Amino acid sequence: MIIPNKEVTMRVFIGWGLYLVLLSACNQEHSDISAFVGAQIWDGTGSEMIPNGVILVENGRISEVGTGDEIVIPPGAEVEDLSDRIVVPGLINTHGHVGGVLGLESGYYNRDNLIRQLRLYAGYGITTVNSLGGDRNEGKILRDEQDVPDLDRTRLYIAGEVIAGTTREEALEILHDNAELNVDWMKIRVDDNLGSVPKMSLDLYSAVIERSHELGFKLASHLFYLEDAKNLLRAGTDFIAHSVRDVMVDEEFLDLMSRSGVCYSPTLTREISTFVYENRPEFFNDPFFLEHADRDVLEELSDPLRQKAVRENVSAQGYKKALPVAMENLKRISDAGLPIGFGTDSGPAGRFQGFFEHMELVLMERSGMNPGQILRSATGQAAKCLGIEQEVGTLQPNRWADFIVLTENPLENVRNMRSIESVWIAGNRVD
């Protein structure tokens, strides 16, 4: 029998006591509370702007939000004066890709490159990205590490490998590997790339959806055609990851959407990326783009031979025709009051993370949505679409303090989302 040494126990006890006294003294000197004061706050719920707003942040999460008259700023809080500014929640991309692309090449799926991409998104105010495919263990590790108050990069959610097997065995094998990776979403591709490749069959994707649900995973669907969208909704998909782009959506589709409550991610800039490099795009002169652009990549994309190839590429020209259809469908879906989850499909080569999200906002406005609707789809609604509304998406108590400080009001014009003065993640200023 081991008899505890009384002297040692006592010393340990005194040691702990001293530690706790010092700790509380420390806390009194350096409060962990930050107070962001003086800004107009748009909280992402759809409520009116809060004038002269205050946000209190404690351990990376919001503890209180309201007007300067309502909220008492605790003594010792670190105060950030945001007078004349507008604060909105950090944007959420429900369909991006954080992967192995570096410049125009693939094959760099590693921690440093993933962090580089997450910081790039952050710089543009996109503070959460749902990476829908191509995700591996390094991405899973970053996701598992992100619920901390000192986070200084965009939050990442993952879908693992896209499921598109030709046989049931292949498809289920990918599904089970993804389950082992503990992905946030399963993702399937139901598309023939404008008739150029075989499409996953109804039987097969129904089986995949069923198995995903049995294992407790939600499933997102890549699609193009209206008929597939309807069948996927009937088969139980939990997310529509692209616009319907072949024909106008009809009442039957709107009804299926409405009954399922499934979100729709427009990814209009995905179409842009397929044909825009047939010429030198205007945004190659845009300082907001150039700030983070790699000049070698621009050079390569401006190569006349490459441009000619895009002009002559059948699928590029096919997707160009699909864009106006997608935009009109977005307006219909928005008018029907169905949930839209802001998404771009950025990340693959030529789909510039961060900048393309701002291009998407403008395309949504051109489709006929108003700035309030667009911003809701990119904040509170996007979070709901992903099932993370208790964590991010709105500026409400207990959510992570992920927000953007702007100098211009984005509710007047969505292009004002570019007037970023600073971006904060878990209450930390991101460079």
| Shortest separation between residue 187's beta carbon and Zn ion, angstroms | 8
Query: Any alpha helices (H) in 88-201, and if so which ranges?
Result: 111-123, 137-144, 168-180
The smaller minimum CB distance to Zn ion, of residues 265 and 416, is found at 265
Contacting residue, 58, 135, 191, 345, with Zn ion by CB under 5 A: 345
Given the complex with Zn ion, which of 345 and 360 has the nearer CB atom? Answer: 345
- Between 82 and 92, name the residue whose CB sits nearer to Zn ion: 92
Looking at this protein, which amino acid is placed at residue 92? Answer: I
In the bound state with Zn ion, the residue whose beta carbon lies nearer, of 43 and 345, is 345
State the minimum distance, in angstroms, from the CB of residue 345 to Zn ion: 4
# residues near Zn ion by CB under 5 A: 2
Token pair recorded at residue 143: 């996701």
Single out the segment in contact with Zn ion by CB under 5 A; choices: 213-221, 253-261, 338-346, 361-369: 338-346
| Shortest reach from residue 358's CB to Zn ion, in Å | 18
If the CB atoms of residues 42 and 355 are measured against Zn ion, the closer one turns out to be: 355
Q: Which is nearer to Zn ion, 80 or 135 (CB)?
A: 135
Least separation in angstroms between residue 188's CB and Zn ion is 12
Q: Are the beta carbons of 95 and 344 closer than 8 angstroms?
A: yes
Give the interface segment with Zn ion, choosing from 31-39, 135-143, 337-345, 409-417 (CB under 5 A). Answer: 337-345
- Calpha distance 244→223 (Å, rounded): 7
CB of 367 to Zn ion, least distance (A): 20
Amino acid at 109: Y
Residues 122-141 touching Zn ion, rule: CB under 5 A, are 132
Cα distance between residue 378 and residue 44, in whole Å: 9
Binding piece for Zn ion, criterion CB under 5 A, among 134-142, 300-308, 339-347, 373-381? 339-347
Interaction between residue 228 and Zn ion (CB under 5 A)? no
Shortest gap between Cβ of 181 and Zn ion (angstroms)?
A: 17
Exposed/middle/buried for residue 159 (C-beta within 10 Å: 0-12, 13-18, 19+): buried
Q: How far is the CB of 67 from Zn ion (least distance, A)?
A: 41
Q: Of 28-36, 113-121, 248-256, 340-348, which part binds Zn ion (CB under 5 A)?
A: 340-348
Taking the complex as a whole, how short is the minimal distance between the CB of residue 46 and Zn ion, in angstroms?
28
CA-nearest of 350, 242, 259 to 301 is 350
Instruction: Sort strands 219-222 and 428-430 into parallel, antiparallel or unpaired.
Output: unpaired
Return the residue nearest Zn ion (CB atom): 345
Please compute, for residue 60, the number of CA atoms within 13 A of its CA located in the half-sphere on the CB side: 13
Q: Which is nearer to Zn ion, 34 or 273 (CB)?
A: 273
Residue number with CB closer to Zn ion (42 or 239):
239
Question: What is the nearest approach in angstroms of Zn ion to the Cβ of residue 132?
Answer: 5
* Kind and range of the H or E run holding 201: none
Give the DSSP per-residue string, 46-80: SPPPEEEEEEEEETTEEEEEEETTT-PPPTTPEEE
Phi, psi (degrees; rounded to nearest 5) at 128: -140, 135
CB of 138: closest distance to Zn ion in angstroms? 19
Report d(CA 176, CA 160) in Å as an integer: 10
Q: Are 409 and 86 in contact (CB under 8 A)?
A: yes
Single out the residue of 334, 317, 324, 233 nearest to residue 275, CA to CA.
Answer: 317
Rank residues 98 and 392 by Cβ distance to Zn ion and give the closer one. 98
Residue 293, classed as helix, strand or coil, is: coil
Pairing of strands 155-158, 126-131: parallel
The nearest distance, CB 274 to Zn ion, in angstroms, is 13
d(Cα 275, Cα 315) in Å, to the nearest integer?
9
Which stretch, 34-42, 59-67, 341-349, 368-376, contacts Zn ion (CB under 5 A)? 341-349
Tokens of 60: 């990376």
- 109: closest CA among 133, 93, 144? 133
Identify which of residues 131 and 416 has a Cβ nearer to Zn ion in the complex.
131
Q: Whose CA is closest to 52, among 80, 82, 79?
A: 82
Segment interacting with Zn ion, rule: CB under 5 A, options 63-71, 166-174, 285-293, 345-353: 345-353
**The tokens of 269 are what?**
């800039």
Query: Which phi and psi angles does 129 have, rounded to 5°?
Result: -130, 130
In the bound state with Zn ion, the residue whose beta carbon lies nearer, of 273 and 367, is 273
Give contact residues for Zn ion (rule: CB under 5 A): 132, 345
